[in-house]
Amino acid sequence: MRLFHLAFLGLILICTSVSLAADRLPSDVYRSVVRIEAAVQIPDYATPWNSGRFSGGIGTGFLIGENKILTNAHVVSNARRLLITVHGSPIKYPAKVDFIAHDCDLALLSVEDFSDFKGFPVFEIGGVPELESQVRVIGYPIGGQRLSVTRGVVSRIDFSSYSHSRADQHLVIQIDAAINPGNSGGPVLQDGKAIGVAFQGRRDADNTGYIIPTPVIRRFLKDVEDGRYDHYVDLAVATFPLYNAAMREALKMPDDGNGVLVSNVISNGSCDGILKPRDILVSIDGNPIDSAGQILIDGSKVDLNEIVERKFAGDTVELRYRSGGTWHDREVELKPLPQNRMYAIQYEKKPRYIVFAGLVFQPLDTNLFATANFSDLHVRRLYQDYLPKGIFKERKDILVLTRIESDPINSQLSGFTGKAVDKINGVKIHDIKQAAELLNPETPPEFHVIELLGARRPIIIPGADVAAANERVQRTYAIEQLSNLEE
């Protein structure tokens, strides 16, 4: 499935809390749907000491409370300036991001001066629409400056990928409304309430768009009530469908279409020490799990993780499973799985790096992986196995030599870039701060010895020459700071 953001491409879906008993919407509700202009700065992972390039785009948002404007995270990610325009007005209002959730592509904004927005209608959040029910789509499609109105039908409710982070899956609603390239972040209307936020589409299908449904929206709004966003919790297990009759017979499971095989349990996750590979999971919070790993909620079959999706850190779920031929009922306390962010695109963060005698070291993440297109098998395995095989327990950061800025001290070092650091001066590396300390001791060693995974020989740098080399490299390549260790 080729999913794409609708910000900068042309979708805006608009809805209101005003009743749709009449066929036409009251004109004043359009004031509560705002146009968002974002000036953004994209971090430069190729040369991480640079500030990055500037860009811009257009999105939309809608008023859901007193100085609370809901939109997509991808509309305002990496924003350096936000300006909001009200429908029918030329005035641009400065705005700021109060909360942003990249894992579910939602953000909450406020304007510096809300006085002009007093008395605007406020959008009420509705429920989950039924299949084949109609929604109203209002937007600013490419090719014009004024609003256009279309209708569509809810064609699918599913648990699917969110393209903004590239690593998260949540509940989504598919609609068949005609969605043209343009803006995103606006609401979808049914029965006078917002039942979703437009956020992505498909490049390989016409008249197909996706909206973030209200369970995801409500969870985000509840999460930020305490003044911060705490992210999703995770069951931290991988499961395998049990379709095959022979497999079910081998596992001594009845051929009743229920239950999934636990294939992996993530270290330090919610189920670590409770579930184990080859266990059979049959229900969650009393909801039977079918052999495809789905449960029935609100009349629709969705992934079993939808139960976990609606909970927060410290909440519990009841699991029924079979282990070693014995049935168990256990209460599991849920917690986040921050290590999973290795596979998510990062925003609002400056790249971390160390420049040492012209050698540039960076911790591996998806931003860097996408930029550098690593071919080294050691690096690719470390990236792939970071979460499922628990590599994060011994390597919080996977440090990679990403480039070498030419200097006499590092001549004849071709063939080392793109490889992961194993040891520095005999010490195994587990994060970037430790590496920085080893490379910058109070008393330099005679030689710095840097061992890379898969390299035939170590890199040897004379300790007494490092300070002069750093000064030359910093001056030659206009590097303001030789390191950034903080996210």
Q: What CATH code is carried by the domain that includes residue 100?
A: 2.40.10.120
- Report the pLDDT value the prediction gives residue 177, as an integer from 0 to 100: 73
Whether residues 480 and 416 fall in one domain: yes
- Report the pLDDT value the prediction gives residue 145, as an integer from 0 to 100: 63
- Amino acid making up residue 427: V
Q: Distance (Å, rounded) from C-alpha 255 to C-alpha 410?
A: 65
Task: Write down the catalytic residue from 5, 17, 74, 376.
Answer: 74
- Report the pLDDT value the prediction gives residue 35, as an integer from 0 to 100: 87
Whether residues 298 and 356 fall in one domain: no
Q: Distance (Å, rounded) from C-alpha 418 to C-alpha 429?
A: 16
345 inside domain: no
Q: Distance (Å, rounded) from C-alpha 18 to C-alpha 193?
A: 7
442 inside domain: yes
Task: Write down the catalytic residue from 5, 77, 102, 105.
Answer: 105
Q: Is 164 a catalytic residue?
A: no
DSSP state of 298: T
What count of residues does the chain have? 487
Q: Distance (Å, rounded) from C-alpha 473 to C-alpha 358?
A: 6
341 inside domain: no
Residue 158 · residue 212 · CB < 8 Å: no
- Report the pLDDT value the prediction gives residue 152, as an integer from 0 to 100: 86
- Amino acid making up residue 395: R
Instruction: State how beta strands 359-363 and 399-404 pair.
Output: antiparallel
Long-range contacts of residues 305-310, Cβ cutoff 8 Å, at least 24 apart? 305/159, 305/169, 305/235, 306/159, 306/171, 306/215, 308/232, 308/233, 308/234, 308/235, 308/284, 308/334, 309/170, 309/171, 309/215, 309/216, 309/219, 309/232, 310/215, 310/219
Q: Is 74 a catalytic residue?
A: yes
The two three-digit tokens of residue 343, written as one number? 């596979």
- Report the pLDDT value the prediction gives residue 199, as an integer from 0 to 100: 87
Q: Distance (Å, rounded) from C-alpha 345 to C-alpha 42?
A: 12
Residue where a domain stops, chosen among 169, 201, 226: 226
Q: How far is CA 274 from the centre of its chain?
A: 28
- Structural domain for 288, as ranges: 237-333
231 inside domain: no
Q: Is 105 a catalytic residue?
A: yes
Residue 28 · residue 83 · CB < 8 Å: no
Residue where a domain stops, chosen among 206, 226, 246: 226
Coil, helix or strand at residue 218: helix
382 inside domain: yes
338 inside domain: no
Q: Total structural domains in the chain?
A: 3
Q: Can you name the residues that pair with 461 across neighbouring β-strands?
A: 448
Q: Distance (Å, rounded) from C-alpha 54 to C-alpha 481?
A: 20
Whether residues 429 and 355 fall in one domain: yes
For residue 150, the tally of other CB atoms under 10 A from its CB is 16
- CATH for 276: 2.30.42.10
Whether residues 63 and 195 fall in one domain: yes
pLDDT tens for the chain, 487 residues: list them: 445 565 444 433 333 333 333 345 666 777 888 888 999 999 999 999 999 999 988 888 899 999 999 999 999 999 999 999 888 888 999 999 999 999 999 999 999 999 999 989 999 999 999 999 998 876 665 665 666 667 889 998 888 999 999 999 999 999 987 555 454 788 888 888 899 998 887 777 677 889 999 999 999 999 999 999 999 999 999 999 999 999 999 999 998 999 999 999 999 999 999 999 999 999 999 999 999 999 998 778 889 999 999 999 999 999 999 999 999 999 999 999 999 999 999 999 999 999 999 999 999 999 999 999 899 999 999 999 999 999 999 999 999 999 999 999 999 898 999 999 999 999 999 999 999 999 999 999 999 999 999 999 999 999 999 999 999 999 999 999 999 999 8
Whether residues 112 and 154 fall in one domain: yes
- Report the pLDDT value the prediction gives residue 11, as an integer from 0 to 100: 39
The two three-digit tokens of residue 303, written as one number? 């992934």
For residue 459, the tally of other CB atoms under 10 A from its CB is 21
Report CA-CA distances (Å) from 347 to 29, 118, 168: 32, 32, 15
Q: Distance (Å, rounded) from C-alpha 279 to C-alpha 282?
A: 10
Whether residues 268 and 384 fall in one domain: no
- Report the pLDDT value the prediction gives residue 412, as an integer from 0 to 100: 86
Whether residues 210 and 243 fall in one domain: no
Whether residues 258 and 378 fall in one domain: no
342 inside domain: no
What pTM did the predictor assign?
0.90
Residue where a domain stops, chosen among 333, 362, 380: 333
Whether residues 65 and 88 fall in one domain: yes
Whether residues 14 and 157 fall in one domain: yes
- Report the pLDDT value the prediction gives residue 220, as an integer from 0 to 100: 97
Whether residues 215 and 244 fall in one domain: no
Task: Write down the catalytic residue from 17, 77, 163, 184.
Answer: 184
Q: Distance (Å, rounded) from C-alpha 107 to C-alpha 296?
A: 29
Residue 400 · residue 420 · CB < 8 Å: yes
The two three-digit tokens of residue 116, written as one number? 């002009």
Whether residues 3 and 87 fall in one domain: yes
- CATH for 466: 3.20.190.20
